[in-house]
Amino acid sequence: MSFTQEPFPDNPPNLPNPTPFRNGAIIRQWIENLYNRNGYRDHVELNTTVELAEKVGDEWVLTLRKATPEGEKNYWWQETFDAIVVASGHYSVPNFPFIEGIIEFERNWPGSVEHSKLFRGPEKYRGKV
């Protein structure tokens, strides 16, 4: 996940839960730096929900909504595009927050720490407290 001219940053060495994957804060900062540095700010809309995507003829019409920071008002508008990309994270990597002692707990009871993304049914837990 990077561009030739924009290499992806390394994780900071002081992360409490070392992982080969970047956490959300690092990805967000990388993207924000990218569009600020290259003058893309006018082409990006943050904190906006796509409420509806409709194909109308050869174009896509998106109905968008943005709430005020206080959440008191919603602003609605539509924009038209030649194409859209749905990137909802099908291949996303689960995020495990730092919880003191969780690494030691998993070492002592292997398989006991599981992300909800891996849940496939109750059978594994039936009859257990």
pLDDT tens by residue, 62-106 = 999 998 888 789 999 999 999 887 766 555 667 677 778 888 988
Could you tell me if residue 18 is inside a domain?
Answer: no
52 in any annotated domain:
yes
Does residue 53 sit within a domain? yes
What range defines the domain where residue 82 resides? 47-86
55 within domain boundaries: yes
Task: Work out how many domains the chain is built from and give that number.
Answer: 1
- Report whether 79 contacts 60 (CB < 8 A): no
Asked whether residue 28 carries a pLDDT value surpassing 90, the answer given is no
CA 12 to chain centre: 19
Structure tokens at 85: 């990309």
Beta-bridged to residue 52, according to DSSP, are 63
What's the pTM? Answer: 0.50
71 occurs within a structural domain: yes
Average pLDDT, whole number, for the chain? 81
In a domain, residue 4? The reply is no
What phi, psi does 47 have (nearest 5°)?
55, 45
Q: What is the pLDDT of residue 6?
A: 77
Question: To which H or E segment does residue 71 belong?
Answer: none
Q: What is the mean pLDDT of residues 4-18?
A: 71
51 assigned to some structural domain: yes
The answer to whether residue 39 is domain-embedded is no
